[in-house]
């Protein structure tokens, strides 16, 4: 079951500058910002808390990162919306039964959480991510 919006992701060309900008807008103290790299996805990310959710800033680490391609095509901006789920496998089965395609399989994303992307052609041109809990 989908339980909440986990985060809203924004692709950026310069993570450090974007963190400064969004921290100022959101009023985030520096110690509340979590920065990490996700080598499998080819990104460096920062999570900024806002209410019960987060803003995720995504900076590509190399030319093969999907975020590099996104930035080349679109420039900085909104990338995806992520929904938290209590069972990513159950949600994967539910959405595929309903005819939606996924982009790859369930894999590990930022924070060690399980993630799965839904094809934007099946979701009104919005890239959606499902996020599960960290595997035990």
The residues, ordered by sequence, that sit 6+ positions from 25 with a Cβ below 8 Å of its Cβ are none
- How do the domains of the chain map onto residue ranges? 2-131
Fold category of 2-131 in CATH: 2,3-Dihydroxybiphenyl 1,2-Dioxygenase; domain 1 (3.10.180)
pTM for the structure as a whole: 0.93
For residue 50, the model assigns a pLDDT of 95
- pLDDT means over runs of 10, the chain (136 residues): 96 98 94 94 96 96 95 97 96 96 94 95 97 84
């Amino acid at each position: 079951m989908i339980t909440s919006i986990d985060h809203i992701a924004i692709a950026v060309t310069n993570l450090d500058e974007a963190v400064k900008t969004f921290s100022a807008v959101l009023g985030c103290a520096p110690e509340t910002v979590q920065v990490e790299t996700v080598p499998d996805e080819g990104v460096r990310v920062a999570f900024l808390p806002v209410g019960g959710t987060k803003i995720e800033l995504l900076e590509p680490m190399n030319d093969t990162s999907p975020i590099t391609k996104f930035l080349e095509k679109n420039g900085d901006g909104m990338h995806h919306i992520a929904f938290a789920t209590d069972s990513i496998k159950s949600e994967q089965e539910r959405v595929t039964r309903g005819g939606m395609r996924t982009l790859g399989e369930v894999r590990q994303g930022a924070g060690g959480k399980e993630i799965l992307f839904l094809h934007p052609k099946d979701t009104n041109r919005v890239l959606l991510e499902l996020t599960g809990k960290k595997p035990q």
